[in-house]
Amino acid sequence: MDLASAQVIGAGLAAVGVGAAAIGVGNVFGSFLESAIRNPAAADSQQGRLFIGFAAAELLGLIAFAVAMIILYAR
């Protein structure tokens, strides 16, 4: 296998992490919605924590994307 095709395959494998982060982000918002419906009065005060959780989950997916790009464009 030459380097170019190995790079493309590697980038594709690294991109799997983005899908995993999608599960994480969905989990964050899903859990928030679930509990917000149970207790709507407390929902607004927790919005900051919601976005902290979102940012933490999203960061890992974005790192996976960055890794994929580094593999794809590496010489």
Partner 1 sequence: MAAESKIDPMHQFQISPLAGDLNGSPFVFTNSALWMLVVLALIWIFMLGGMKRELVPGRWQAMVEGVTGFVSSMVTTNIGPEGRKYIPWVFTVFMFILFANLLGMMPFALLGAHPFTVTSQFTVTGIMAIISFAIVLVVGFWRHGFHFFSLFIPHGTPKVLLPLIFLIELLSFMVRPFSLALRHFVAMIAGHILVEVFGSFVVQGINAGGMGPAISLLSFVFIVGVMALEILVCAIQAYVFALLTSLYINDAVNLH
Tokens representing 2 are 């030459």
Tokens representing 68 are 């994929």
Amino acid present at 7: Q
In the bound complex, what is the minimum distance in angstroms from residue 51's beta carbon to partner 1? 6
Distance CA 2, CA 7 (A): 9
Residue 69 interacts with partner 1 (CB under 8 A): yes or no:
yes
Residue closer to partner 1 by CB (options 29, 36) is 29
In the bound complex, what is the minimum distance in angstroms from residue 73's beta carbon to partner 1? 8
Interface residue list for partner 1 (CB under 8 A): 48, 51-52, 54-55, 58-59, 62-63, 65-66, 69, 73
